[in-house]
Chain A
Amino acid sequence: MSKKLYDGLESKEINRIKKKSQVQFVLSHLFKNRLAVAGILFLSIMIISSIAIGFLVDYKVIVKHDLRNKLLGVSARYWFGTDGFGRNLFYRIIYGARISLMIGFVSVAGSTVLGGTIGSIAGYYGGKLDIIIMRFIDIQMAIPSTLFAICIVSVLGTGITNLLLAIMIADIPQFALIFRSSVMSVKNSEFVEAARSNGCSTYRIIFRHILPNCMGPIIVQATLNLGGVILTAASLSFIGLGVMPPTPEWGVILTEGQEYMRDFPTLVIFPGLAIMLTVLACNFIGDGLRDALDPKLK
C-alpha cells in the first residue's frame, strides 16, 4: 500500500509527507491520552496566568503587608486566604509560578544544551575523548544530584540565579548520557552510513541526520526533568538554600507558612498543592510523550 503511494513522488516530497505524518502521529497519540491532555491544560493555564498577572496587576500593590487582615481564611476577596503578614496568598502563588516555571524551563534548557553538546561530542567521536568525558560524568553521577546542587549553592550563595545555575549543572550528566547513547546508537545505523558515503559533512550528519533521530527520548527526559527541577528548586528554597524570602517562590511561601501550620494549615496546603500539581502535570505530559514515541506501541 504505502509503496504504491510513494511511487512517482520526488524524494523531497516523500520526506515532507513522512515527517508531517510522524509528528502528527505522535501528537494524535498524545492527545488521546487523557492524563497528558490534563497536564497540558494545567501547565498552559499556569503559564498564561502567571504571565498575564504581570500585565493586569502590580505585585507590590496587590500583595502588600496588611497586618489588620493577617491569617484570614478562604473568602471571595482572598481566594486562598492571607498569610502571617496579611498578604494575599492566591496572588503570591500565581507570582510564584513565574519564578518556579522560569527556573524550571531555563535550567532544563541549559542542561539539555550543555549536556547535549558534551554527550553528542562523546558519542560521535568516541575514543579517548569519550573515555575522559565519561569518567567525569561517572564521578558526578556518583554524587546524588540534590547533594551536588546543594554543594554548588553553598559556594555560589543563595538567590534565583545561583539556584538555577546549581540545578542546571547538577542535571548536565543525565542529559549527556542520554545524548551520548542516542548518538551512539544512531551513529552506526545504515542511513547515517549512507549519508556519510554520499559525502555529507560531519556537521550536517550530526544536525540533520543524527540529532533529529534521537529527539524522542530527549524530549521525554526534558519534560520529566522539568517537574524534577521545580521540585528541587522548591526543596532547596524550603531549607533556606535557594530563593530567599520575601520573594514569592513556592518553597519560600511554604517555609513562611510552616510557622502557622498548627492553626492555619491552608498556608502550607495551598503552596504545596501548587508545586505538586505542576510537577504532576509535567510528569503526565512526559509519560504521555514517552508512550506516544514508543516504537513498540506503533
Chain B
Amino acid sequence: MYKYILKRLLLMIPVLIGISFVIFLIMSFMPGNPARLLLGEKATPAAVEKLTEELGLNDPFFFRYYSYMKNVLQGNFGISYRTGMPVIYEIRARFPTTLKLAFFSIIIAIIVGIPIGILSAVKQYSFIDTLSTVLSMGFISVPPFWLGLLLIILFSLKLGWVPSYGSDSLKHFILPALTSSACSFATLLRMTRSTILEVIRQDYIKTAYAKGASKPRVIFIHTLRNALIPLITVIGINFGNMLGGSIITESVFGMSGLGNLLVLSIRSKDVPSVMASTLLLATLFGIVNLIVDLAYAFIDPRIKFHYR
C-alpha cells in the first residue's frame, strides 16, 4: 500500500516538471517585451535594455527555465508586470476562492448527481429515467457562462436574493457554485446510471440475488461499491474541468480567484502572473488525480493486492 502511494507520488514529479516546462515554453512565445511593459511607453530604449538584462530575459531558454523553477520552488513567482508587486501576494489572496468554489461545486454535483443516477438506473426506462436523461443532456450542453447570466438575471436582478458580483461572503458562492456544478452534476448522473447498469449485468449480481439478497442490498452493497470505482475517476476528471471552468465562472461573477487573475493577466500580458496561475491550476489538477488514484487503491482490492 505504501509502495503504491510512494510510486504515485514519485510519478507526479515528472508530470509536474513536464507541465511547468510546456507552460513556460508556450509563455516564452508571448509577444511583447516585458521590460517595456514594466517601464511604460515613455521609457528610454537604454532603460528598457537595462531592465531586460536585469530580468535575465536575454539568457538562453533553458537557463531561464532553470532559474524560474529554482525561484518557484522557493516560493518566488516573480514580480507582476501589472501591479509591480510579487505575484505570490495575489496568488495567496486568490487561491482560497478558487479552491472553495471548486469544492462547493463538486459537493453539489456529488450530492445531486449520484442519487439521481442510481434512481435512474434502478428504474431504467421509467418516466424518472427519461426525465433525468433529457435534463442531464441539457445541463451538459448548457454554456456555463450563459447559465451564470440567467441565474444572475433571475436570482439577483429580478428577485434580489443573492448578490451577483464578488466573492466576499458565502452567499456570493451560491450562484457560482450552482453554475459550475451544472455540467459535472450532469456527467456524474449519466456516468452513475451507465456504470450501475453495467454492473447490474454482471454475473456476481445474479449470484447475489441467488443467495437471497434483497434488492436494496444488491443495489447498495454489491452494485454501488463496484460502480464507485469508475465513478471516482469521473469525479476526478470533473474536478479538473471545474478548475478550467473556474476561469469562466469567476469572470462571469467577478470573483477574485485564480481564474479571473489568469484572464486579467493575459489581457495585460502579465507573464509572471499567467505562469503562476496556470502552474497552480495544473498542479491542483495533478494533485486531484493523485487523490483519485489513491482512493482507487482503498476501494479496489485488486490494486491493493498488487502493491502489497
- Complex CA distance for A136 and B267, rounded to whole angstroms: 28
Q: How far is the CB of B95 from chain A (nearest CB, A)?
A: 15
- Complex CA distance for A240 and B266, rounded to whole angstroms: 10
Q: Is A138 an interface residue (CB 8 A)?
A: yes
Q: B157 to chain A: which residues have CB within 8 Å?
A: 261-262
Given the known inter-chain contacts A144-B281, A152-B26, please indicate yes or no for A268 contacting B141, CB distance below 8 A: no
Q: A136 to chain B: which residues have CB within 8 Å?
A: 18
Q: How large is the interface on B (under 10, 10 to 19, 20 to 34, 35 or more residues)?
A: 35 or more
Interfacial residues of chain B within 127-142, with CB under 8 A of chain A in the complex: 134, 137-138, 140-142
Given the known inter-chain contacts A151-B27, A154-B30, A239-B247, please indicate yes or no for A231 contacting B143, CB distance below 8 A: yes
Q: How far is the CB of B273 from chain A (nearest CB, A)?
A: 11
Q: Is A284 an interface residue (CB 8 A)?
A: yes
Contact yes or no, B146 A254, CB < 8 A:
yes
Q: Is B241 an interface residue (CB 8 A)?
A: yes
Q: Is B257 an interface residue (CB 8 A)?
A: no
Contact yes or no, B141 A262, CB < 8 A:
no
Nearest CB to that of B284 among chain A residues?
A144
Q: Chain A at the B interface: mostly helix, strand, loop or mixed?
A: helix
Q: B143 to chain A: which residues have CB within 8 Å?
A: 231, 234-235, 238, 251, 272, 275-276, 279
Given the known inter-chain contacts A147-B247, A258-B149, A261-B153, please indicate yes or no for A139 contacting B18, CB distance below 8 A: yes
Interfacial residues of chain B within 107-141, with CB under 8 A of chain A in the complex: 134, 137-138, 140-141
Contact yes or no, A276 B146, CB < 8 A:
yes
Which residue of A139, A145, A265 contacts B19 across the interface (Cβ within 8 Å)?
A139
Given the known inter-chain contacts A139-B19, A147-B247, please indicate yes or no for A254 contacting B149, CB distance below 8 A: yes
Q: B266 to chain A: which residues have CB within 8 Å?
A: 150, 153-154, 241
Q: How many pairs, one residue from A and one from B, have CB atoms within 8 Å of each other in the complex?
A: 132
Q: How far is the CB of A141 from chain B (nearest CB, A)?
A: 9
Q: B144 to chain A: which residues have CB within 8 Å?
A: 235
Which residue of B146, B149, B282 contacts A144 across the interface (Cβ within 8 Å)?
B282
Q: B150 to chain A: which residues have CB within 8 Å?
A: 268-269, 272
Contact yes or no, B22 A143, CB < 8 A:
yes
Contact yes or no, A146 B244, CB < 8 A:
yes
Q: How large is the interface on A (under 10, 10 to 19, 20 to 34, 35 or more residues)?
A: 35 or more
Q: A235 to chain B: which residues have CB within 8 Å?
A: 143-145, 248
Q: Is B29 an interface residue (CB 8 A)?
A: yes
Q: Is B15 an interface residue (CB 8 A)?
A: yes
Contact yes or no, B153 A280, CB < 8 A:
no
Given the known inter-chain contacts A154-B274, A268-B149, please indicate yes or no for A283 contacting B141, CB distance below 8 A: yes
- Complex CA distance for A155 and B29, rounded to whole angstroms: 6
Q: A20 to chain B: which residues have CB within 8 Å?
A: none
Q: Is B188 an interface residue (CB 8 A)?
A: no
Q: A275 to chain B: which residues have CB within 8 Å?
A: 143, 146
Given the known inter-chain contacts A139-B15, A157-B31, A261-B157, please indicate yes or no for A239 contacting B240, CB distance below 8 A: no
Contact yes or no, B244 A145, CB < 8 A:
yes
Interfacial residues of chain B within 240-275, with CB under 8 A of chain A in the complex: 240-241, 243-245, 247-248, 251, 262-263, 266-267, 274
Q: Is A213 an interface residue (CB 8 A)?
A: no
Q: B22 to chain A: which residues have CB within 8 Å?
A: 139-140, 143
Interfacial residues of chain A within 244-298, with CB under 8 A of chain B in the complex: 251, 254, 258, 261-262, 265, 268-269, 271-272, 275-277, 279-280, 282-284, 287
- Complex CA distance for A274 and B230, rounded to whole angstroms: 33
Interfacial residues of chain A within 97-123, with CB under 8 A of chain B in the complex: none
Contact yes or no, B18 A142, CB < 8 A:
yes
Q: B137 to chain A: which residues have CB within 8 Å?
A: 35, 280, 283-284, 287
Q: Is A12 an interface residue (CB 8 A)?
A: no
Q: Mark A157-168, 1 if CB is under 8 A from B, else 0.
A: 100000000000
- Complex CA distance for A145 and B248, rounded to whole angstroms: 13
- Complex CA distance for A282 and B137, rounded to whole angstroms: 11
- Complex CA distance for A139 and B25, rounded to whole angstroms: 13
Which residue of B27, B263, B278 contacts A241 across the interface (Cβ within 8 Å)?
B263
Interfacial residues of chain A within 153-185, with CB under 8 A of chain B in the complex: 153-155, 157
B: residues with CB less than 8 A from A are: 14-15, 18-19, 22-23, 26-27, 29-31, 134, 137-138, 140-146, 149-150, 152-153, 157, 240-241, 243-245, 247-248, 251, 262-263, 266-267, 274, 278, 281-282, 285-286, 289
The 5 closest A-B pairs by CB, nearest first: A144-B244, A272-B146, A146-B244, A139-B18, A279-B141
